[in-house]
Chains A and B, each alone.
Chain A
Amino acid sequence: GQQVMQIPQYQHVQEGEDFTTYCNSSTTLSNIQWYKQRPGGHPVFLIQLVKSGEVKKQKRLTFQFGEAKKNSSLHITATQTTDVGTYFCPEGGSGTYKYIFGTGTRLKVLA
């Protein structure tokens, strides 16, 4: 799998503020997946994006896949304390079994 660079590494927001994390690759991705890991927990799959320009929503979470399939973003509207955790965006291993998760973005929400 390709290595995807994720920014920012850390983000603190006040509860109710919006939050966005970005994943960028120098090469075209076959797909991109998003996982969330709560503190002390294990990563949990959130979503997979496959198509160029794809946008998917899960309640307050909006996921986008870039037109060139080289970047992706996760936007959280009106963050809540339940959004606390680390978000990862590996390429989903299509054509290869390897996943490279990287360091992720750690989100802290201040009440």
Chain B
Amino acid sequence: NAGVTQTPKFQVLKTGQSMTLQCAQDMNHNSMYWYRQDPGMGLRLIYYSASEGTTDKGEVPNGYNVSRLNKREFSLRLESAAPSQTSVYFCASREASSLKQFFGPGTRLTVL
């Protein structure tokens, strides 16, 4: 039982490049989330998926797209990366019975 896994762990992009951050959970959770964390800014919600087939915007969705590929996987795409998107990205899933969120280890992204 791996919990929530994220790939890659680290990534460096040039401005304008695109990439997809992958997230998968093996806990059979319906809800999944993407957050970004910048120094001094805490955790900010980018997008979430309440259940397979649905996605909704969070606090800071601009510049991102998401895909809930199936119940296990929720990906985050940067179509044209900007330096302001340099951050640590966390994926999480939520246990329906307890509302507890389980976080992945994060992806550290630098955009030059």
Contacts and interface: CB of A to CB of B under 8 A. Distances in A.
Interface of A: 31, 33, 35, 41-45, 48, 86, 88, 92-94, 97-104
B42 A101 contact: yes
Contacts of A94: 99
B59 to A, nearest CB: 7
Interface stretch (B20-28, B67-75, B102-110): B102-110
A97 B103 contact: no
Query: Nearest 7 pairs between A and B by C-beta?
Result: A103-B42, A101-B43, A42-B103, A92-B99, A97-B50, A45-B100, A102-B42
Nearest to B98: A48
B99 A33 contact: yes
B45 interface: yes
Interface string B78-101: 000000000000101010001111
Given A44-B103, A48-B98, A92-B99, A97 B90 contact: no
B36 to A, nearest CB: 11
Nearest to A92: B99
Interface residues of B, number: 26
Contact of A103 (B33, B40, B94, B102): B40
B100 A88 contact: no
Contacts of A98: 45, 48, 56, 58
- Secondary structure of the A side of the interface? loop
Contact of A42 (B33, B56, B106): B106
Given A43-B90, A48-B99, A100 B45 contact: yes
A48 B103 contact: no
A99 B103 contact: no
13 contacts: A31-B99, A35-B101, A42-B106, A45-B101, A88-B42, A93-B94, A97-B31, A100-B59, A101-B42, A101-B45, A103-B42, A104-B42, A104-B43
Contacts of A44: 103
B23 to A, nearest CB: 12
A74 to B, nearest CB: 16
Interface in B5-62: 31, 33, 35, 40-45, 48, 50, 56, 58-59
